[in-house]
Structure 1
Amino acid sequence: MYIDSHCHINFPELAARMPEILAKMAENKVTHALCVSVDLPDFPQVLALAEQYPHIFASVGVHPDYEDTPEPSVDDLVRLADHPKIIAIGETGLDYFRLTGDLEWQRERFRTHIKASRITGKPLIIHTRAASEDTIRIMREEGAGVADGGVAGVMHCFTESLEVAKAAIDMGFYISFSGIVTFKSAKDLQAVALEVPLERILIETDSPYLAPVPFRGRMNEPGYVAHVAEYLSSLKGIPLAQVAEQTTGNFFKLFNQIA
């Protein structure tokens, strides 16, 4: 079985097809999915999905790309995370690719999420793009790693270097690979995936974006996460069943859930 550790099935293009989305998950042996929050106004939709479907989990957080949106406080995140189906804080992090200028607000927002993670004991879902140095620095400064009393989390949709992956793993984080790893152009990322131990890997779709080969260019959905697992199986030269079992176990271990 497989778990999609990061998706946005509350987005309109997927929410409108929910029966089909869930059926495709079942067809492809995707037993669970984590629907990830990107802002506070839409958080009720994320939570509603998790409350409606036993095999859907949710997070609470505000994405670093969302500039013109209500800013979360530590108290906001802690309060909203006080629900059994909210299993993570995020997604949060830094993105210097899509936004430019004075991004101190992004860094402060990131710190807010780390503080909420430490208070709640719920793992972080971290987005980092063209900002890995500051991302790792702030994680260390705020004690995001397990060695500093934090609860760690996952570097989602990972596209950074092996050095960044190792730094995150050293803090107790997992590395999550999306459909990007299946792209022919992603040679550097494939080299990283080859080196990251299976015991520290999660798989995801980040749907509705980044559909894996052979669906590249189409709308992505949680059922397609099996193709990420298949690619990692081929890349690492290990049985697909091993990838499925280990990544599923990693998910339940990180997010403190019972299979």
Structure 2
Amino acid sequence: MLVDSHCHLDYFVEAEIEAVLARARDAGIGRMVTIGTRVGQAAAVKALTERFPDVWGTVGVHPHNAGEPEGLPSVEALAALADHPRIIGLGESGLDYFYDKAPREAQQEGFRRHIRAARITGLPLAIHARQADDDIIGILREEHAAAGGFPFLLHCFSSGPELARQAVALGGYVSFSGILTFPKSTELRALAAELPAERLLVETDSPYLAPVPLRGKRCEPAYVAHTARVLAEARGIGIAEVEVLTTANFFRLYPKAA
């Protein structure tokens, strides 16, 4: 069994969702986690998890949306939003200095609130990091020093190796998407070979970032198998071993989905 640890099922047209999930099951995908990006979207995420037994969810505010008029939810509000039997994590939150769609101060404040909600609830935080490695590392270290550890993963990892190493040192996990399969991702594959096996997950981030050999197509959860295959090649192990270790890692990070 494989797990798509990060996808956006509510971005698919309603009429397509059942077919998308059927293709995922046919590809051996046993769990899918559909991800929150806005408070107002949380109801749709929860509805999908209630409708399909192999779909779980997270709630949170994406850094792109941290500066929207509705404002950032408080730590307590985030924790309350996650109080649902099918919600297994928070996020995605973090920092994105590439698009800079929200003020950096708002992104940083939102990131810290999600971290504190993760600590209160015990639920893992899915972290979005793009061209903000130093500030991500700094905030993770500060929050750990101030109040202790919390569960988290760096999703759709494509940042520098030092961010991955520092995250693992702080107890975090690293999830690879279809970017791992791209021809120019040589350094990313080298990092995937280096990191501890017990900290690795795979994902699609669908409907984005379709892996080789499907680039240019809309991505969907079934395609996580291609990323797992490349991860196996990078580490010099069999695909069956990658299936076992990434699924075990998923359940260790997200025990609520067991």
Report the TM-score range of the alignment, normalised by the length of the smaller protein. over 0.9
The 1:143–1:87 alpha-carbon spacing in structure 2 relative to 1, beyond 3 Å, is same
- 1:214 alignment partner AA: P
Which residue identity is paired with 2:36? S
RMSD: 1.6
What secondary structure does 2:32 align onto? strand
Partner of 2:130: 129
Partner residue of 2:2? Answer: 2
- Distance, in Å, in 2 between the alignment partners of 1:120 and 1:47 is 17
Deviation (angstroms), 1:69:
5.0
Partner of 2:202: 203
83-92 vs 66-75, which moves further: 66-75
- Report the counterpart of residue 39 of structure 1 in structure 2: 38
Matches within 5 A, 1:54-203: 54-66=53-65, 67-68=67-68, 70=70, 71-99=72-100, 102-143=103-144, 149-203=148-202
1:17 to 2:42 alignment: no
CA distance in structure 2 between the partners assigned to 1:136 and 1:247 by the alignment: 24
Render the CA deviation track for 1:42-89: whole Å, top value 9, x for unaligned: 111011001111111100100001132522111211111111211111
* TM-score normalised by structure 1 residue count: 0.94
- Work out the CA distance in 2 between the residues paired with 1:221 and 1:69: 31
CA drift of 1:25 comes to: 0.9
CA, structure 1 residues 101+200, in 2 after alignment: closer, same or farther (shift >3 Å)?
A: closer
What is the alpha-carbon distance in structure 1 between the residues aligned to residue 254 and residue 145 of structure 2?
A: 15
Give the TM-score normalised by structure 2.
0.95
For residues 88 and 103 of structure 2, the distance between their equivalents in structure 1, rounded to whole angstroms, comes to 32
Aligned residues: 256
SS of 2:134's partner is: helix
Among all aligned residue pairs of Structure 1 and Structure 2, give the percentage whose two residues are the same amino acid: 46
> Aligned to 1:158, what secondary structure does the other structure show?
coil
* Contact 1:114/1:144 (8 A) holds in 2: no
Does the aligned pair in 1 maintain the 2:88–2:257 contact within 8 Å?
no
Partner Cα separation in structure 1 for residue 82 and residue 145 of structure 2:
17
Partner Cα distance (1:149, 1:99) in 2: 29
Please list, as runs of the form range in 1=range in 2, the aligned pairs for 1:237-248 lying within 5 A after superposition.
237-248=236-247
Aligned to 1:252: 251
Aligned partner of 1:199: which letter? E
Q: Return the offset for 1:151.
A: 2.4
Alpha-carbon separation, structure 2, partners of 1:185 and 1:57: 32
Counterpart of 2:212 in structure 1: which amino acid?
V
Structure 2: give runs of 5+ residues left out of the alignment.
none
Whether the 8 Å CA contact 1:50–1:57 is kept in 2: the answer is yes
Q: CA deviation at 1:217?
A: 0.9
SS state at 2:255 partner? coil
Contact 2:64–2:101 under 8 Å retained in 1: no
2:16 is the alignment partner of 1:27: no
Specify whether residues 69 and 154 from structure 1 end up closer, same or farther in structure 2 by C-alpha distance, changes over 3 A only.
farther
The 1:101–1:52 alpha-carbon spacing in structure 2 relative to 1, beyond 3 Å, is: closer
The answer (yes or no) to whether the contact 2:203–2:224 under 8 Å persists in 1 is: yes
CA distance in 2, matches of 1:25, 1:112: 33
Distance 1:32 1:56 in 2: 6
